[in-house]
Amino acid sequence: MPRETPLLARYAESLFWLARYLERVENVARLIDVTQTFESPGREAESWYSLIRINADEDGFAKSGLTPDAMQVKRYYLLDRDNPNSVPAAMEAARTNARTLRPVISTEMWMQLNMFHRELLSVQDYELEGDRLSRLCGRIKMGVQEHTGITEGTFFRDQGYFFYMLGRLIERADQVTRLLDIRYHLLVPVGDEQRRVAELTQWGGVLRGAAGYHAFRRVAPPDFKPADVVAFLLTNRAFPRSVLLCVGQMEWHLTQLRATYGLRGTVPALERVEEIRAALLDRPVDKVIADGLHDFIDALQRDLILLGAEIGTAFFRDWRPLADKPDAAGGQSQTQVQRG
């Protein structure tokens, strides 16, 4: 059997970001769909502005001169190509990365991404209203899921696959923590009746935003509390989007890179993964909430950022996180992913 060709560092980085961008596209669509479905009467502006807060886009939104009403927020995330967290901007970046990966990804992956890219860039204003918006969000989610299925069925399982999966899992865990952080503080009830309504409606919206409503109902007690939702999204070992399950899968992929390909640079990332797992399991959720859920999630997000940086520093030439350098998804040099 011939020896596998070493993976170029620029391919590893592009695969990592391709997966992150597509996960981001789906997540934005989920959040918009759920926000429209469960926006609180009389609190519509607050409901929609929570999307800005989830993505830490307060400064960018303010500089754009937009007002925090429903239509402006929807345009900002579904039409504005200058917003790096918008669907069209993330999709454009995903396609740019995919273009550099033509020797690596399957033909089916490339063709589907091209068609999906064209569809998203053709979205019009009239599609952001009422039932049309729900249908648009459904098409976006299905487009990403189609990409996921094609990738699972056609992408070669070499080093590149593991970097792709690490990107997806880091982005997924990060987005779940953002959803939980902002929505928890908006939805914490202050009375028995408000508690009942929140549990039956808006907490269901939180779970739908994470694609976890039906999974949660399979394991939740009939009289579930907000803390049960928090525990499910943070520490459930079977739900694909829970932070703990994502962390466990990250560890597996990093271990495969180390054991199969001898990539010793995985050690700092593996140590960070263990720290995140320990933080998730160290205290009961009730204690985490009592001590301050926001501070806990803020620390989790910092650790996820550091985890991405440790992977990038070890394997991506001239690592430049996108938060600091918007062009970091491209332009990597053609060094190989090294074993030392």
Query: Model confidence over 305-339: pLDDT tens digits?
Result: 999 999 999 999 766 654 344 344 444 434 556 54
pLDDT of 55 reads 86
Token digits of residue 237: 């070992």
What pLDDT is attached to residue 323? 39
Q: What is the pLDDT of residue 326?
A: 39
Report the pLDDT averaged over residues 20-40.
Answer: 88
Please count the other Cβ atoms lying within 10 Å of the Cβ belonging to residue 116.
Answer: 22
Using the CB atoms, write b or e for 181-206: b if 16+ within 10 Å.
bbbbeebebeeeeeeeebbeebbbbb
The share of the chain scoring above pLDDT 70, in percent, equals: 85
Number of neighbours of residue 223 by Cβ within 10 angstroms: 8
| Statement: residue 173 has pLDDT above 50 | yes
pLDDT tens, residue by residue, 195-206: 566 556 677 888
pLDDT-derived band at 208, boundaries 50, 70, 90? confident
Section 135-164 average pLDDT: 97
CA neighbours within 13 Å on the CB side: how many for 304?
A: 26
Average pLDDT, stretch 242-265?
A: 95
Residue 40 confidence class, pLDDT cut points 50, 70, 90: low
Query: What pLDDT does residue 44 have?
Result: 75
Distance CA 265, CA 7 (A): 15
* pLDDT at residue 292 is higher than 50: yes
Give yes or no for residue 247 having a pLDDT over 70.
Answer: yes
Start-to-end CA span in the chain (Å):
24
What is the per-residue pLDDT across 60-86, written as a single tens digit (0 to 9) for each? 999 988 888 899 999 999 999 999 999
For the whole prediction, is pTM greater than 0.85? yes
| pLDDT given for residue 322 in this prediction | 45
Residues 6+ positions from 131 with CB-CB distance below 8 Å: none
Point out the least confidently predicted range of 56-65, 106-115, 166-175.
56-65
Element housing 277 (H / E):
helix 267-282
Residue 28 is encoded by which pair of tokens?
Answer: 């934005």
Exposed, middle or buried: residue 240 (CB in 10 Å: 0-12, 13-18, 19+)? middle
pLDDT at 224: 82
Specify the pLDDT at position 3: 57
Using DSSP's 3-state secondary structure scheme, residue 301 falls into: helix
Q: How many of the other CB atoms lie within 10 Å of CB of 17?
A: 26
Averaged pLDDT of the chain: 87
Say what the pLDDT of residue 222 is: 80
Lowest mean pLDDT among 118-132, 185-199, 207-221: 185-199
189-192 own/partner pairs: CB under 8 Å, 24+ apart? 189/226
